[in-house]
Amino acid sequence: MLIELNETYNMIEETRVLSSRDVVNTQNRFINRPQGILIQDSYDNPFFPIRPAPRIDTSRLDLTEVYQRYRELYSETESMFLPWHYCLEMVGDRFYAFNTRPIDMRFPINTQEALKNKEENDWIEWNAETNAFFDEGLYDVRDAIHICLIGSSDIDLYTISMYTMIGQVCMTPLLRQHKLPGGLYQRVFPLNMGRRFKFMNISRFIRK
């Protein structure tokens, strides 16, 4: 359901990211190595939903609007980073992967904070797959690499080139560098992704 911007401001007033979480320092870097990769979209994001727009990933550069919304809604300061390490969107007729957070910098909230935020805000909805990930508790969300697709995966259309970009550009170098298992649903999970996103397609483009 579309949430009007002024209503969104009221609902997330207490969910601001502390400015200290978006500063590059030893405290905010991965202690050992990333523990996994989490894939989500911006509109139905389980942590920082970007609404009311962009809901559809258009051919123009929507990332600037995502930055603006994130700063307005969730950040205490004019952070130069988004919470996600990579953002993917279509510009013109092709997909691009943008590095929007230092790759050695942890996600700005942890699992306990994410669960508390959901409990205190009934407008946040998680699908069954997302709830299962949190029930299993394999690793803390702050210790994951986060990949975000601009728009809503319930209505956007994804080409093979997008799955190729996720697998070859975003995931494979990380899996190799940190010696993480490349099987989907081992350390790589989709969170709140809609029906248009075919998660298993990524497996075709992960280079072992």
* pLDDT tens-digit readout, 58-94: 888 899 999 999 998 888 777 789 999 999 999 988 8
Q: Report residue 115 as tokens.
A: 């669960």
Number of domains forming the structure of the chain: 1
Cα gap 148→38, rounded to integer Å: 8
Phi/psi of residue 13, each to 5°? -55, -30
The DSSP bridge pattern shows strands 94-99 and 36-41 to be unpaired
**What's the domain range around 34?**
5-205
Q: 102: domain CATH number? A: 3.40.80
Length of the chain: 208
Q: What is the pTM of this model?
A: 0.90
- What contacts 38, CB < 8 A, 6 or more positions away? 141, 144, 145, 146, 147, 188, 189, 190, 191
Q: Report residue 154 as tokens.
A: 């319930």
Q: Report residue 30 as tokens.
A: 């991965």
Give 103-154 pLDDT, tens digit per residue: 999 999 999 999 998 988 777 889 999 999 999 999 999 999 999 999 999 9
